[in-house]
Structure 1
Amino acid sequence: MVFTNSLSSYYEKFLATGEVKCIDEEIPFEIPKGWEWARFGNIVNHSPQVICEDNFEVAFMPMALIDAGYRSSYTFEKRYWRNVKSGFTKMQKGDIAYAKITPCFQNRKSFILGDVPSNIATATTELNVIRIYADTFARWYLLYILKSDFFIKEAKYKGTAGQQRVLSDYVKSKLLPIPPRKEQDRICDKLQEVLPIVDNYDKFQSELNSLNSTIGERLKKTILQEAIQGKLVPQISEEGTARELLEQIRQEKQKLVKEGKLRKSVLSDSVIYKGDDNKYYEQVGKKCLDITEQIPFETPKNWVWTRLSHIANIYTGNSISETEKKSKFTDVIGRYYIGTKDVDFNNRIIYDNGIAIPKQYEPDFRLAPNNSILMCIEGGSAGRKIAILNQDVCFGNKLCCFSPFVGIGKYMYYYLQSPSFFELFNLNKTGIIGGVSIAKVKEILIPLPPIKEQQRIVAQIEKLFEQLR
């Protein structure tokens, strides 16, 4: 028993031995007059027994069916007692159960057992059960103590990180503040009145926190989507048309083919146009295909739809085995080799990664030129890792290089990060690890504005992004 003396110090008397000890250092705070301090182990039964007939149906509760939080909430399955009377935690109606394992203990997985089949339940062995003697305590008062920071944050554990269990000695020796019985009821009534309000506040605060943490990215996506639909800047007729830009790109490709820098196959472009019937058609050689269902949205009249492969040289890099990487390309002087891990989710590239391609091996590798775009097209990062190069590099086979023609790289770079592109990209994913073939990437559609409008779009995007920082 715990008591005070005339000097307001706290003492504990051990009834078995008569020993008296000052426990001032254990008292966490002062309590109102009429309240008492008591050890948890002395006021309730921590090892209650349950008796039931084998053929009785009872409740069964795995941890997953016990709700976290400040309520007494759970669901249950049904089992026959004979099948669950051994190897599980047992309780009866009115008992209080609480998780003893982390993180369920901290998440407040605890409850008062209510009406269940046969008024008996068995549950995961990761629960502790307590039973009140007669009607000495309000069950909800003890449940609220079990759910309180006062009880949880000072807990002592055993076991490895992530699978720790609260010590029985901590629970039983914990000093609890005990009000008079009727005051316990009044405390519980008030808590049950205000906690739903607190729960709602917590829910709204969590939603607000989530919104605050994601609003920047959401706004960026909205800006990019508006940009590629021609809604971010006004159209200016004097800037010409995207059809004129495509002709300029075609001439540039012819020049590169003559110089032997591109294969002749790049000249076999298709033409996409909108017919008098408001449908979209693609002229591929002598074939004319209706592709209306592939067009995700309308664009300004001076824009065109085209395929990515028509406005950029697109190709993947080269793989290097671990053996080769260690023996030939680690800590050597040469051109940087960029792998998927060297492109981060913030559009940055780690160039000095310890891997380089010496000059004598360069002919064996594909080159991604300065100002071209690298994107991961295979694995969990597919479509999500993308960056612009500031120098020529060699690169890995899970990365795709977009080397645009006629200086339209920045617009393409932002298009490749837009929600529309990401949706088209994901629609083309295949395989267990999730990737898009280079052939499919080349066929993805892009809405193309005139070159000068692209420049204004890029400038406006970067201005708005800067304001979001």
Structure 2
Amino acid sequence: MEDRMTAQQLKNSILQMAVQGKLVPQDLNDEPASVLLRRIKKEKEELIKEGKIKKSKTESFIFRGADNLHYEQIGKEVRCIEDELPFEIPDNWEWKSWGEVSYKIQYGYNAPAKDTGVIKMVRITDIQDNQVLWDSVPFCNIKENEIPDYLLHNFDILFARTGGTVGKSFLVENINEDSVFAGYLIRTVYNYNEINPKYLKYFMETSLYWSQLKKGTIATAQPNCNGQTLSKMILPIPPLQEQHRIVAKLQELEPLIEKYRIAEEQLHELNSNIKDQLKKSILQYAIEGKLVPQDPNDEPASVLLERIREEKQQLIKEGKIKKDKNESIIFRRDNSYYEKFGNTEFCIDDEIKCSVPINWILTRQKNLCWLNNGNLSKGEILPYLEVKVLRGNKEAETKDSGVIVTRGTNVILVDGENSGEVMKIKYRGYMGSTFKILQTSNFVNEKYVDIIFQCNRIKYKHNKKGAAIPHLDKELFNNTLIFLPPITEQQRILEKINLITHLL
């Protein structure tokens, strides 16, 4: 399972092939990227000359030297960057910086978001699943003469520069409302007749993009990345015709990757369900005597049950538990099982869904464990151990009265959706009001009894009494029919379950 490629890994691999020139075939008739990039350079120089864009003082210029190695020039400084290039690209491709192929890298407009205003202002939070949620886009107040500088256009690329979404990008398409963009965004503008905007957007999903972004991000409580980091980012530029072919191929593959992702999720869910179902089946096998072989030399469970009865009588005598008004004995006669209450007998074969193993005995759950409310105490300041506290989801409040429970005590939820769940007390405190103390006989393995509870949780849930707030059906809990194995077999069962669980 671990060796199977995930949908995200598959997508990353395909994107990597795309930007390395390995996804679609090269065509020698394509105009080389170098010619395309010379046109872009000339157009930028014209725009700077006309005052339409500003010349960057720190822009990186990447070129091939006479030795065919790659160099970077910033101002008058030139250095070889051949060893810094992450992979080889086809001969008619070129390595360039983002700043070279962009006409403008621009920060958004800083203004408070308002319910009404001059114009809408797109924030990164308004972009979900590569769509602008126009109904949630707020307005802002901006001077009319400033709007053209920040007005969004189709094929602009927006880039989140701060926070948990730093690096997230969005290709503006099918814009249907005039809008500016907010200050936590950066916009890149370029000639989309020379560079396919979708190619740039796909690049911004590659590992090369994210690795460069990570290096340029300032690691603070709010991660921050500036326009200079984006400007210096290197990217491989294919010929324009090949850009179109790459985009077409990626768009063709996207729905297939999505199908793979859905199938992957379904498989994961199936595997999880199988594991859960297998575990449930193992536990059910355990309490039916089908998990480990019986040993005729084990002391019979009937002897064990007699000890438990004596223990129960002693607890009643000491006032620790209440006397059972409906005490019964289950016995076998003429290949059938009967339950005797005083002088009355009932056949209970309909309750028994499988054969009772050798040396095992049938009994009711109330003969193995007992629910009690505990005794109220006052005056001592102790933590109040409610459900959220025991789950570790809340700090305990303190109280000066309640039922004291100590470390190691088992309690069972009797109110709420998870009625029937058993929890162990970790430190001394007052028991929460939704619990009862669960006392188990000293003569049975507590962990084996826990397996019985796990198997019957659904039964408890489906039969809870109560309307607005479900309650544990105490009568059902007490009268659940139990297959009781010898104490030595209980231990063998637990060891087998631990072994199988480890393998799962």
Range class of TM-score, shorter chain: 0.5 to 0.7
Partner of 1:416 in structure 2?
A: 453
1:66 to 118, 123, 128: 128
Offset of residue 75 of structure 1: 5.3
1:266 paired to 2:323? yes
Q: Distance in 2 between matches of 1:409 and 1:202?
A: 44
Residue 481 of structure 2 aligns with an amino acid whose one-letter code is P
1:30 paired to 2:88? yes
Contact 2:196-2:240 within 8 A present in 1 as well: yes
Partner of 2:232 in structure 1?
A: 173
Residue 95 of structure 1 aligns with an amino acid whose one-letter code is D
Offset of residue 65 of structure 1: 4.8
Offset of residue 141 of structure 1: 0.7
2:247 to 188, 194, 197: 188
Contact 2:440-2:446 within 8 A present in 1 as well: yes
1:447 paired to 2:481? yes
Change (3 A) 1:209 1:134: closer
Residue 204 of structure 2 aligns with an amino acid whose one-letter code is L
Q: Distance in 1 between matches of 2:189 and 2:478?
A: 66
Offset of residue 85 of structure 1: 4.2
Offset of residue 152 of structure 1: 0.9
1:84 paired to 2:145? no
1:5 to 61, 65, 74: 65
Q: What is the 5 A alignment of 1:274-285?
A: none
Q: Secondary structure at the match of 1:92?
A: coil
Change (3 A) 1:105 1:48: closer
Worse-matched range after superposition: 84-93 or 249-258? 84-93
Change (3 A) 1:424 1:99: farther
Contact 2:157-2:188 within 8 A present in 1 as well: yes
Offset of residue 283 of structure 1: 12
Q: Distance in 2 between matches of 1:388 and 1:267?
A: 27
1:40 paired to 2:102? no
Partner of 1:222 in structure 2?
A: 281
Q: Distance in 1 between matches of 2:85 and 2:99?
A: 16
Change (3 A) 1:457 1:77: farther
Contact 2:460-2:476 within 8 A present in 1 as well: no
Contact 1:97-1:130 within 8 A present in 2 as well: yes
Offset of residue 38 of structure 1: 2.1
Q: Distance in 2 between matches of 1:251 and 1:401?
A: 19
Contact 2:404-2:430 within 8 A present in 1 as well: no
Partner of 1:138 in structure 2?
A: 196
1:160 paired to 2:220? yes
Offset of residue 159 of structure 1: 5.7
Residues 298-330 of structure 1: per-residue CA shift (max 9 Å, x gap): 744768784x54532334789999x9789xxxx
Partner of 1:93 in structure 2?
A: 154
Change (3 A) 1:105 1:424: farther
Change (3 A) 1:406 1:376: closer
Change (3 A) 1:229 1:63: farther
Q: Secondary structure at the match of 1:117?
A: coil
Change (3 A) 1:222 1:121: farther
Residues 411-452 of structure 1: per-residue CA shift (max 9 Å, x gap): 31212233x31673698699xxx9978x96995663311444
Residues 10-42 of structure 1: per-residue CA shift (max 9 Å, x gap): 23345xx6x251141543333322222222123
Offset of residue 224 of structure 1: 1.9
Q: Distance in 1 between matches of 2:280 and 2:181?
A: 47
Q: Distance in 1 between matches of 2:443 and 2:479?
A: 18
Instruction: In structure 1, list runs of 5 or more residues that go unmatched.
Output: 68-72, 274-281, 286-294, 327-337, 346-363
Partner of 2:35 in structure 1?
A: none
Residue 97 of structure 1 aligns with an amino acid whose one-letter code is L
Change (3 A) 1:131 1:228: farther
1:397 to 417, 431, 443: 431
Q: RMSD of the alignment, in Å?
A: 5.8
TM-score (norm 2): 0.57
Change (3 A) 1:39 1:86: farther
1:110 paired to 2:169? yes
Instruction: In structure 2, list runs of 5 or more residues that go unmatched.
Output: 1-60, 110-115, 331-338, 343-349, 393-402
Change (3 A) 1:319 1:213: farther
Change (3 A) 1:451 1:385: closer
Q: Report the identity percentage.
A: 23
TM-score (norm 1): 0.61
Task: Figure out how many residues of one structure are paired with residues of the other and give that number.
Answer: 393
Residues 183-238 of structure 1: per-residue CA shift (max 9 Å, x gap): 111222222233444444455556656766786555323322454577757999xx
2:498 to 462, 465, 468: 465
Residue 158 of structure 1 aligns with an amino acid whose one-letter code is I
Q: Distance in 1 between matches of 2:477 and 2:86?
A: 69
Change (3 A) 1:249 1:59: same
